[in-house]
Amino acid sequence: MIKDKNIINKAKDITAISDKTYKEMEYNLKTLEILMNKEFFKRTDLNTLINDNIELIKDNHTNHLRFMLNIMKNYDPEVFINVVSWVFDTYTKRDISTDYWYAQLTTFLKIYKENLSDSSYNEISPFYDFLLKNYRNMIKDQ
């Protein structure tokens, strides 16, 4: 559980996505997953970020999409922060670099920007912008 209540308070500024955005993302979920893995695994720094944990990271990308789709629709800041913090901690303990999260989050944003409508991207991006600004503190706060 996250100890820094300021992070949860900051997360309260984020708003849930619309039904339209939810449906668009849900409809494209498998495509987004495929594109994410294709883009991510082109990186030349994979060994530094994930070591030999390729299947673990593929599973993470799948689970990430499902979790984010649901938390963005049924938004609860405390659940969002606590689950994401737990994930950060769990993967870091499995020899995943903290730099992986920056690489992962920015790649997801790129995939969304290129493959979803502008209106959906504009609703989704605040969640990722928040995580990009706060992920290091969320890892440290465990």
CATH number of the domain where residue 27 is located: 1.10.490
* pLDDT greater than 90 at residue 74: yes
* pLDDT greater than 70 at residue 77: yes
CA quadruple 88, 136, 80, 3: dihedral sign? positive
Split at pLDDT 50, 70, 90, the class of 118 is very high
Question: How many folded domains does the chain comprise?
Answer: 1
| pTM reported for the whole predicted model | 0.93
In the DSSP assignment, the letter for residue 16 is: P
70-85 mean pLDDT: 95
What Cα–Cα distance (Å) separates residue 52 from each residue in 65, 76, 103? 22, 34, 16
Q: How many CB atoms lie within 10 A of CB 68?
A: 20
Which residue has tokens 């955005």?
A: 21
Split at pLDDT 50, 70, 90, the class of 11 is very high
CA distance 31 to 27: 9
Contact present, 61 and 93 (Cβ < 8 Å): no
Could you tell me the residue range of the domain that residue 49 belongs to? 5-140
